[in-house]
Amino acid sequence: MRNCFLALLVLLATGNAIAQRVTPDVISTSKGNLTIQPINHADLLLSVAGKTIYVDPAGGAEPHKGLAAPDIILVTDIHGDHFDPATINAVKTAHTIIVAPAVVTAKLEGIPASQVITLKNGESKTVEGISINAIPMYNLPESATAMHTKGRGNGYVLKVGGKSVYISGDTQGIPEMRALKNIDVAFVCMNLPYTMDVTEAADAVLAFAPKIVYPYHYRGKGGLADVNKFKSLVDAGNKGIEVRLRDWYAK
């Protein structure tokens, strides 16, 4: 026991990545706890009903060390901060199901077709008991030369245990986001010039009013977005929405 305690002290003292990982949040569902583990930027882990879901895993195996292997990997888009083939290969198992838009699945190599599901905007699939609905994510105004064109990437709405979880991917405050209903937990991006600023993000969140919202994916060309301003705008508009600020860029 003493040796184990000393080993833990060494990990903490040396700044081990696992020791510094943000503490996960836990939300109850009818199928047990939903665990939310921020990793970095767009990288996110969800665990519920005995299943582990990685969203946009990137950065190699190290940021995911010590975490349960994924039953499902969701990928939102083709850009490197969302689609990292080396990381997918490092964390997946022989049973992991990868769910992604066609632009991503077309580039997967060495993964059996039985482990890959391609979803277009508006399509849905139940995987490991979890309903996965692909929804649009894109820049405004719509343009063929936009960084994120409509129909290429997917946001996702997951449903399990009586809870609905929205993952925005790279998007602005599009009509499809604003029209969402009965979202329990939302992860909403805000990083210029790639997606939207905090004012637009707050306005969109006030439109669909999730019970809980996490600002994530908030590092842009100018550094980190002002998530405290985002929280203040949402709080001023609707105190019934709980804004949870977590450090997605912890070292």
Provide the CATH number for the domain around residue 69. Answer: 3.60.15.10
Closest of 66, 135, 128, 52 to residue 101, by C-alpha: 135
Beta strands in 63-140 (DSSP E): 72-74, 97-100, 116-118, 124-127, 130-135
Residue-number span of the structural domain to which 152 is assigned: 21-243
Residue 234 has a pLDDT of 98
Contact 137, 168 (CB under 8 A): yes
Q: How far apart are CA 153 and CA 217, in angstroms?
A: 15
Token pair 């888009």 is at which residue?
A: 77
- Judge whether 89 lies within some domain: yes
The answer to whether residue 128 is domain-embedded is yes
| Structural domain includes residue 2 | no
Q: Are residues 28 and 36 in contact, defined by beta-carbon separation less than 8 angstroms?
A: no
| Whether residue 193 has a cis bond before it, omega within 30° of 0 | yes
CA 39/CA 144 separation, integer angstroms:
32
| Helical pair 198-208 and 227-237, crossing angle rounded to 10 deg | 30
Does residue 65 sit within a domain? Answer: yes
Contact 76, 156 (CB under 8 A): yes
Residue 249 lies in a domain: no
Using CA atoms, how far residue 241 sits from 85, 213, 222, 232, in Å, is: 36, 7, 28, 11
Secondary structure letter of residue 189 according to DSSP: -
Q: Which residues pair with 53 in a beta bridge?
A: 46, 72
The first and second tokens of residue 193, run together, are 């010039």
pLDDT on residue 251? 61
- Per the CB < 8 A criterion, the answer to whether 61 and 91 are in contact is yes
Q: Is residue 204, in this structure, part of any structural domain at all? A: yes
Task: Report the length, in residues, of the chain.
Answer: 251
Q: What is the count of structural domains for the chain? A: 1
Per-residue pLDDT of the chain (251 residues; tens, 9 = 90+): 333 333 333 333 333 434 468 999 999 999 999 999 999 999 999 999 999 999 999 999 999 999 999 999 999 999 989 999 999 999 999 999 999 999 999 999 999 999 999 999 999 999 999 999 999 999 999 999 899 999 999 999 999 999 999 999 999 999 999 999 999 999 999 999 999 999 999 999 999 999 999 999 999 999 999 999 999 999 999 999 999 999 999 76
